[in-house]
Amino acid sequence: MSREQRGPNEKLGTVLALAGISNAGLARRVNDLGAQRGLTLRYDKTSVARWVSKGMVPQGAAPHLIAAAIGQKLGRPVPLHEIGLADADPAPEVGLAFPRDIGEAVRSATELYRLDLAGRRAGGGGIWQSLAGSFAVSAYATPASRWLITPADSSVERSVAAAPDGPADEGGAVRVGHSDVAKLREAAEDARRWDSKYGGGDWRSSMVPECLRVDAAPLLLGSYSDEVGRALFGATAELTRLAGWMAFDTGQQEAAQRYYIQALRLARAAADVPLGGYVLASMSLQATYRGFADEGVDLAQAALERNRGLATARTMSFFRLVEARAHAKAGDAAAAGAALRAAEGWLERSREGDPDPSWLGFYSYDRFCADAAECYRDLKAPRQVRRFTEQALSRPTEEYVRSHGLRLVVSAVAELESGNLDAACAAGTRAVEVAGRISSARTTEYVRDLLHRLEPYGDEPRVAELRERARPLLMAPA
């Protein structure tokens, strides 16, 4: 469906020329972005010609997909007004702001929580479907720089008049105490366990956005002292980062980006610099996963820089490990090796009884080995991959099922690159079995990549059997 504007859309034509995208090229990009979100679009070069020469405005998610497609080519976000489509149905730029003012920060976060639920109720992905493909790594620049300059707000005390027996205004103002914060932290701990065991797409994990809307948002809009407020912002930042991580794991990169930005702003309000570094590390992993390794290095180093002398040894080890992942993805073997050695050194310095944050409970030597293996996979060093993967797979799998599946795929890739097809297929078969028990788009993508690497051996019965075993996994809806 389309509706007509008055005259040609010269803005769209100009930006297309600037980006060097042909009419056919834009149509293909828009169709591909739509397919990533389950939309069947059949635009062609004639469709684009009508958008430009006649000012036709496509309906639904298409204007946002057009902006996203052009933005990917230009390497920056492209707002609808720049391409003459500002009067299309708007997809709010919710969650991308990193306000300096604490009151604005509360409004920005709570707006995101409310909109996410509206999207879920709408069905089919809601707002996130409209924002398909709109991830832009450049959106992390301002949040990271503002956090580096000022990692903690001076005061977060908030006073709102409330009736004795309940909320007094439309914000649902309540007086917040430490018991309220404890409930949020308990919810975050439960969500972390479910996410590790069942993946970000498990229905229990999907309750995190609901918790943010129903439980956290009214508390943020309530009354609290500076001490309680810091704790409240910290607990909410943890939950918000978890929502981002789960969105990342299920392939909703645009949602993850918005959650991460708000989590970083909340961590600043909490004056929790290590937690802010953890959010930046999560941003780094996402940027690296999406192919922006240089930006991934910057984000990891931002986490490191502000945490010198503040974070525990184990926390610093994790930040250096994330930095190594980005260096390896960029193909910088020397920098990756140096970061891995530093990460291992920090980990060796950690001691039982150190005041490590609860959110770092997943990180131990086997996790270091797993990520080191992925670094060496990206650097095409299969012998090192095998060495570290053997260590990573030695840990029991009951609690970290998704991690075990990812490690099995990495092991399979290393065996394949070492010329051991039987071992590669055996590890791949175990990975497919694990992937079938969880809901993780990221794990499925790892399996898909393995099968792509096995294509030259497609006539081998072992490979054909593995591909057949993986078919239900690959065909399952995202």
Task: Report the greatest alpha carbon distance in the chain.
Answer: 74
Rounded CA separation 300/475 (Å) = 35
**CA 175, CA 109: separation in Å to the nearest integer?**
19
**Topology (CATH level 3) of domain 2-83:** 434 Repressor (Amino-terminal Domain) (1.10.260)
Using CA atoms, how far residue 460 sits from 126, 241, 454, 468, 472, in Å, is: 43, 43, 10, 12, 20
Distance CA 314, CA 362 (A): 11
Please, which residues have CB within 8 angstroms of residue 353's CB and are 6 or more apart in sequence?
none
Cα(15)–Cα(11) distance, rounded to whole angstroms?
6
CA distance 433 to 427: 10
Residue 134: per-residue pLDDT: 65
What's the rounded Cα separation, in Å, for the pair 48 and 22?
9
**Is the Cβ–Cβ distance between 311 and 274 less than 8 Å?**
yes
Beta bridge partners of 3: 57
pLDDT tens for the chain, residues 1 to 478:
455 556 899 999 999 999 999 999 999 998 887 776 556 788 999 999 999 998 888 876 788 789 888 988 887 778 888 898 876 554 557 899 999 999 999 999 999 998 754 444 333 445 555 555 567 899 999 999 999 999 999 999 999 864 333 333 444 468 999 999 999 999 999 988 888 777 666 544 568 998 999 999 999 999 999 999 999 999 999 999 999 999 898 888 888 999 999 999 999 999 999 999 999 999 999 999 999 999 999 999 999 999 999 999 999 999 999 999 999 999 999 999 999 999 999 999 999 999 999 999 999 999 999 999 999 999 999 999 999 998 888 866 667 788 888 999 999 999 999 999 999 999 999 999 988 888 888 899 999 999 999 999 989 999 999 999 999 988 765 4
CB 64 within 8 A of CB 132: yes
- Distances from the Cα of 402 to the Cαs of 201, 252, 388, in angstroms? 11, 17, 18
Kindly give, in sequence order, each residue whose CB lies less than 8 Å from that of residue 380, ignoring residues fewer than 6 positions away: 417
pLDDT at 172: 46
Q: What's the angle, vertex CA 267, arms to CA 174 and CA 253, rounded to 5?
A: 105
Residue with tokens 């007004």: 81
- Tell me what pLDDT residue 92 has: 53
Q: What angle do CA 33, 36, 39 make, to 5 degrees?
A: 85
